[in-house]
């Protein structure tokens, strides 16, 4: 086998590996993003149940609160992965339920919060594909 063929096979293998493990890689990224402070109405806050209540009631985009680095990281990762249909509300709730059980419960138990969360993913998917 020629070196070029080996490189092509290696690249294909790595792309397949990335696609298979994309949800796990994204899981760590999302948990880290949730630990970062955001600025909401001029105040530095952390993403918690109180902030989510405010965002849901006022219908404010979560993505608008993330810093440019966080948004860029999400978009770059999603573009590399390609198919991100799995990246949705159900996945996020499952991802955060151990480290952020109150947030997960909020999305599961409050229909308005769940609808808001669904819209966040529609917004993210459209911004990634455009």
User: Does position 19 have pLDDT exceeding 80, yes or no?
Assistant: no
Residue 12: inside a domain, yes or no? no
Banded model confidence at residue 6, pLDDT cuts 50, 70, 90: very low
Residue 35 lies in a domain: yes
Residue 2 lies in a domain: no
Domain that holds residue 72: 22-129
- Read off the pLDDT of residues 58-95 as tens digits, 9 standing for 90 and up: 999 988 898 888 778 777 777 777 778 888 999 999 99
Count structural domains, the chain.
1
Q: Does residue 9 lie within any of the structural domains?
A: no
Q: Has residue 3 been placed in a domain?
A: no
Mean pLDDT of the 28-48 span: 91
15 within a domain of the structure (yes/no): no
Is residue 49 a part of any domain in this protein?
A: yes
Give the DSSP per-residue string, the chain.
--HHHHHHHHHHHHHHHHHHHHHHHHHHHHHHHHHS-EEETTEEE--SHHHHHHHHHHT--SGGGS-HHHHHHHHHHHHHH---TT-SHHHHHHHHTTT-HHHHHHHHH-HHHHHHHHHHHHHHHHHHH-
């Amino acid at each position: 086998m020629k070196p070029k063929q080996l490189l092509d096979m290696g690249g294909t293998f790595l792309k397949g590996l990335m696609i298979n493990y994309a949800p796990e890689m994204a899981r760590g990224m999302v948990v880290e993003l949730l630990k970062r402070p955001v600025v909401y109405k001029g105040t530095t806050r952390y993403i918690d149940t109180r902030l989510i209540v405010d965002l849901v009631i006022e219908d404010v985009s979560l993505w608008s609160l993330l810093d440019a680095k966080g948004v860029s990281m999400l978009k770059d990762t999603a573009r590399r992965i390609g198919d991100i249909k799995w990246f949705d509300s159900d996945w996020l709730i499952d991802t955060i339920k151990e480290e952020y059980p109150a947030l997960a419960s909020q999305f599961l138990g409050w229909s308005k919060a769940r609808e808001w969360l669904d819209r966040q993913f529609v917004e993210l998917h459209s911004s990634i594909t455009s």
